[in-house]
Structure 1
Amino acid sequence: MRRRYDLTPSICIILALTTLFFVVFLIYPLLYVFKEAFWIENTFKLTYFKLMVTDPGIRTLVVNSFKIGVMVTLVTSIVSLPLAYFLTRYRYPGRALLRSVILIPMIMPPFVGAIGMQQFFGRFGSVNMLLVKLKLIDITETIDWFGGGFWGVVLLSTLHLYPIMYLNIVAALANVDPSLEEAAENMGASRAQVFRRITLPLMMPGYFAGAILVFIWAFTDLGTPLIFDYNEVIAVRIFRQVTEANANPMGYALVVLIIVLTALAFYVSKRWTGSKHYEMLGRGHVTSRETDTNWGMRSVIYLFIGGLTLMALLPHISVILVSLTPDSSQWRLSVLPQSWTFAHYVETFTHSDTLPSILNSLKYSIFSTLLALLVGVVVSYLLTRKRIPFQNLLDAVAMLPLALPGVAIAFGYLGSFADTTLLLRHLPDGIVSVLDPRQNPTFLLIISYSVRRLPYMLRSIYAGLQQTSVSYEEASQNMGATPMRTLYKITLPLVIANILAGAILVFSFSMLEVSDSLILAMRDQHYPITKAIWSLSQRPDHGAYTASALGVVGMLILIACLLGAGKVLGGKLGEIFRI
């Protein structure tokens, strides 16, 4: 009789260690947050949640964060829907290049670009000075383009997040059966009617998957509002509560609030898509419909994608220009800097505050990538090659960080691994000094980077294992090889491209991770690049210029990394992000 589960002693040990990892570094911090929010003075209380309802200041935080999330989701939808349609349904010269170029915004978090965009769109920035020179406005009546910071946050978040929406829509379009569209056209429907009545409804599940990710990312973004000094949002208030985490439970209550709102957003999306039917007749492999373009349509496509690409590159261009500006006196009341210098780049690699941050980020990112690789291989192998109990639960827990805001996990780590908690209180001082982020955040930064980006690694390796026949591994074991040797010599080499793609994603996002870095890194010697950029940008002298140079260095590291991975994967840079 065949056994129900493949629970050999070695599999049991691996499963137990994997479970322990998720319990300690994912479940326990979240439970601690809920405990601190509700269990006050040894009693269950809703004091701070009542305060959220009665305090107009807290209500303003929620409303502003919600407005940012909705606006960013709406604008990315308006941009990404035609973008995906143009790049998948039409044939024209340069399409392959454009597919890679539009993914460039993903290499730099929006809060880095915000430093340069303030110089471009500020009251006396480049755009207003250009309008003054053209005599379109008076210098005493310059325009506040970012509306006190709100529209700046929306713009930067949109330019950073539209590739995520685009990739989800492209995947959804690829699954639409073209015969249904052809049948509608044969019945006399116009192209617009086909899109509205056939294509759009069938791609709704994929669209909502991207929309929810964009909404959560924008709703809980921390770095961009900080740079724009737009402090009336939930994430910034949580950041301000870091120093009071052990004394004031309001920070934990706000974290619970964003977790609940995030879960509610997922639930609404699931109910909305689950209440409708999107089934199509199975026809085996579905190929996308593509149409040759005439010169008029081609012009529209080039103008749309070219304009979008220019806007998407503006944060990168602005940061580069700011990094090359000697000081504020050289870019005042002028369209462009009046002189140039590389002094800030020299300072980046020589200053005691900047060079260590680069080395720290490299260290944190490399070790977090290795840890995510180890956990990703183990979980993927258990899910695809072994029959284990609670298999779906393991998959759900491993993918959970994708739905959790970064500030929630980081704040949970900050509180749950303090030296005063029950978990650490009775441990030796040497272990406490490693685990407590207030003493040394290195270990928890590596853990948090790997946990937050684990879904990318898991999806990539999981897809590779699903596409690889198990017969190779069975043949190896029939020849006498142990399961471990088979994994090392047969399985992993067959999915090396998937491993590389996942590793590059984890490393890239870890290098410029914002929420975990800003919350957990509290001392200068432990600052990663993003925390150093924020710290420098707060200095009244030339801090913003050095911060911009540091941001460009981080951007160049990621570009080199992604180009190298793209070359290994056959030059298809965009495929790295299709997880």
Structure 2
Amino acid sequence: MSRTLALLVFGVMAAFFGCFFAYPIWTTVKLAFETPDHQLTLEFVFEVFRNHIYQEGLINSFLIAIWTTLGCLVMSIPLAVFFVRYAFPGKNLLNSLVLTPMVLPPFVGAIGVKAILGQAGALNSALIHLGWMNPQHPTDWLGEGQMLGIVIMEVLHLYPVLYLNVAAALANLDPAMEEAAANLGCRPLERFWRITLPLIMPGIFAGGTIVFIWAFTELGVPLVFDFDRVTSVQIFRSLNDLSDNPFPYALVVVMLVFSTLIYSLSKLFFGRANATGGGRATMARETIHLPYGLGWLCTIFFALVIFLAVIPHLGVVLLSFADDWYATVLPHSFTLHHYQEALSHELTLSSISNSLKYSVIAIAFAMVLGIGVAYVNVRTRIWGRQVLDAMAMLPLAVPGVVMAFGYLAMTRPGQPFDWLVLGEDPFLILVIAYAVRRLPYIVRSATAGFQQVNPALEEAAQNLGASPERALWRVTLPLVAPNLLAGGLLAFAFAMLEVSDSMILAQQSAHFPITKAIYFLVMALGNGPNLASALGVWAMIFLTITIVGAALLLGKKLGALFR
């Protein structure tokens, strides 16, 4: 790539980042600190901490994030240790299945959790049938306010993120350090606590930070559980009262500050240079072949975690087929009618069409931009190329609720970007939002591809008379096509099932994406939850096929996209 073209990519990315990442955040911050007569004030932000309702929302958000992170740690660390260090029956298959939660958006899985753990759900019905529970006083497993259900759903969905990071840290840990401790008489359990755990702490903290921020800012699951006392839902509920109400913007700013602070602390104490726990191993680690009984105990532990993880999926599938499922272990009868209606219902058909339209265009644009960013970062030596890569990755550090609200703020009537919402149609702004949110996946997969291709191949093409751009088009891009396709597939799948942007930016049913349509159906009376479940199963199948396809193309490098 010529220096001129590299500088052009840098300029385009900087302009795009400034307009559609920095400016939305700035607009939100400005409205949170500005009075109607354009005077600077801290009153609105202070009021967030003084107001009992907002205080409760922040406290509940932190509690959900803390318990979710702890739950993911309890599930992920043993799984990672067993997978990296030991050989046991079905190891490779179980390692793939343990990532199952990624195939279903958590707020869709929440429908299944409610059907199973509700007071008239399948679990209580089973216990009543066995005589272990009084049918007049069924246990409320989800608890008052539904917070327990939210935590359960978040843990079952997010533990693979932490598992991938911890497994990577363990795999890169130099076994010589543990062997030295063993030679000094350190027992295995003590060795793990005093040597292994501190060394893999960067990986734990990196994955834990993602899980904490994700759970802290999650919107979809609390909405499905109808739990309004969290900050993200309080922001969502305020959408109809933005004209003269500065407090939603103040809430968004407070959420942004806490999320940024947590992310910055992660980078400060456990920077990327040490994110895999002590660097690359200087010697190969031997996989320990466990005795027959212990090996099967590992297999059972993996299988148990996988079973717990698929419970929400099973609940969604059963509800999608259920003709009547109330106070019984299984539905009274099954039907395919919900699937037929889900594919013929006016709302679902338009939502599928809308999601396809938004996602295809967004990922096509993100693909062009992501390839340019990755190539400049890997193949050129221009000043600021690391800044370019950092800009592309920053959307991972900012909560989706914050970005969506920023887009809403910058497209208000009278704002410079109000033309992005033409006649209440959010098409352009949703495309941009999807592109920004999924750009990091494409940049990471493209970067990995360019790093694997020897630059001497491009140099040979240029020596034969090809321009740098022609060498890139004819030589390099065909070689990195599997990486680009895998990253594009994942970005497309997650864009199709994007929650925050879809819930906040699409206000009219004619413009609903799939996730907004599912939420609308869940809240509807009659067979709405059944239709939502059927649509969720279609989404599950779609995302499963996509992830399997990406895994076949990327192999073991698939996990790097989630770290």
Aligned twin of 2:30: 35
Shift of 1:273: 3.5
Q: Aligned with 2:377: secondary structure?
A: helix
- Say whether the 8 Å CA contact 1:174–1:287 is kept in structure 2: no
Is the alpha carbon distance of 1:231 and 1:396 closer, same or farther for their aligned partners in structure 2, counting shifts above 3 Å?
same
- Say whether the 8 Å CA contact 2:370–2:439 is kept in structure 1: yes
Aligned twin of 1:513: 498
- Say whether the 8 Å CA contact 2:91–2:299 is kept in structure 1: no
CA deviation vs aligned residue, 1:366-424 (integer Å, no higher than 9, x gap): 22222221111010111111222322322221111001000000010011022321444
Amino acid corresponding to residue 463 of structure 1 in structure 2: A
The separation in 1 between residues aligned to 2:235 and 2:512, in whole angstroms, is: 19
Task: Select the residue among 4, 12, 31 that pairs with 1:9.
Answer: 4
Q: What RMSD in Å do the two structures reach over aligned CA positions?
A: 2.1
4+ runs deviating over 4 angstroms: 276-286, 572-579
The separation in 2 between residues aligned to 1:576 and 1:196, in whole angstroms, is: 26
Is the alpha carbon distance of 1:129 and 1:279 closer, same or farther for their aligned partners in structure 2, counting shifts above 3 Å?
closer
Shift of 1:363: 2.1
Task: Select the residue among 17, 22, 47 that pairs with 1:22.
Answer: 17
The separation in 1 between residues aligned to 2:425 and 2:370, in whole angstroms, is: 26
Shift of 1:10: 3.1
Aligned twin of 1:391: 385
Shift of 1:282: 7.6
- Say whether the 8 Å CA contact 1:418–1:437 is kept in structure 2: no
Q: Aligned with 1:504: secondary structure?
A: helix
- Paired residues in the alignment total 560
Is the alpha carbon distance of 1:255 and 1:280 closer, same or farther for their aligned partners in structure 2, counting shifts above 3 Å?
closer
Aligned twin of 1:233: 230
Task: Select the residue among 348, 370, 373 that pairs with 1:354.
Answer: 348
The separation in 2 between residues aligned to 1:76 and 1:92, in whole angstroms, is: 23
Amino acid corresponding to residue 31 of structure 2 in structure 1: E
The separation in 1 between residues aligned to 2:109 and 2:317, in whole angstroms, is: 9
The separation in 1 between residues aligned to 2:354 and 2:221, in whole angstroms, is: 22
* TM-score, scaled to structure 1: 0.93
Is the alpha carbon distance of 1:266 and 1:568 closer, same or farther for their aligned partners in structure 2, counting shifts above 3 Å?
closer
Aligned twin of 1:503: 488
1:538 correspondence with 2:528: no
Is the alpha carbon distance of 1:497 and 1:104 closer, same or farther for their aligned partners in structure 2, counting shifts above 3 Å?
same
Aligned twin of 1:553: 538
CA deviation vs aligned residue, 1:520-568 (integer Å, no higher than 9, x gap): 1111111111100000111121111111111111111111222333344
- Say whether the 8 Å CA contact 1:325–1:339 is kept in structure 2: yes
The separation in 2 between residues aligned to 1:542 and 1:375, in whole angstroms, is: 43
1:212 correspondence with 2:209: yes
Shift of 1:280: 8.7
Aligned twin of 1:63: 59
Identity across the alignment (%): 42
Matches within 5 A, 1:275-424: 286-326=283-323, 330-424=324-418
The separation in 1 between residues aligned to 2:333 and 2:346, in whole angstroms, is: 26
Shift of 1:463: 2.0
Deviates more, 1:557-566 or 1:76-85: 557-566
Task: Select the residue among 448, 457, 474 that pairs with 2:433.
Answer: 448
1:562 correspondence with 2:547: yes
Matches within 5 A, 1:428-507: 432=419, 435-436=420-421, 439-507=424-492
Q: Which runs of 5+ in 2 are unaligned?
A: none
The separation in 1 between residues aligned to 2:256 and 2:557, in whole angstroms, is: 33
Matches within 5 A, 1:60-139: 60-139=56-135
* TM-score, scaled to structure 2: 0.95
- Say whether the 8 Å CA contact 2:321–2:338 is kept in structure 1: yes
Aligned twin of 1:428: none
Is the alpha carbon distance of 1:566 and 1:9 closer, same or farther for their aligned partners in structure 2, counting shifts above 3 Å?
closer
Shift of 1:284: 6.8
- Say whether the 8 Å CA contact 2:2–2:468 is kept in structure 1: no
Aligned twin of 2:260: 263
Amino acid corresponding to residue 40 of structure 1 in structure 2: T
Q: Which runs of 5+ in 1 are unaligned?
A: 1-5, 425-431
- Say whether the 8 Å CA contact 1:562–1:573 is kept in structure 2: no
Shift of 1:243: 2.0
Shift of 1:7: 7.7
- Say whether the 8 Å CA contact 2:172–2:278 is kept in structure 1: no
Shift of 1:287: 3.1
Q: Aligned with 2:243: secondary structure?
A: coil
Amino acid corresponding to residue 415 of structure 2 in structure 1: T
Amino acid corresponding to residue 514 of structure 1 in structure 2: V
Is the alpha carbon distance of 1:378 and 1:277 closer, same or farther for their aligned partners in structure 2, counting shifts above 3 Å?
closer
Shift of 1:224: 0.1
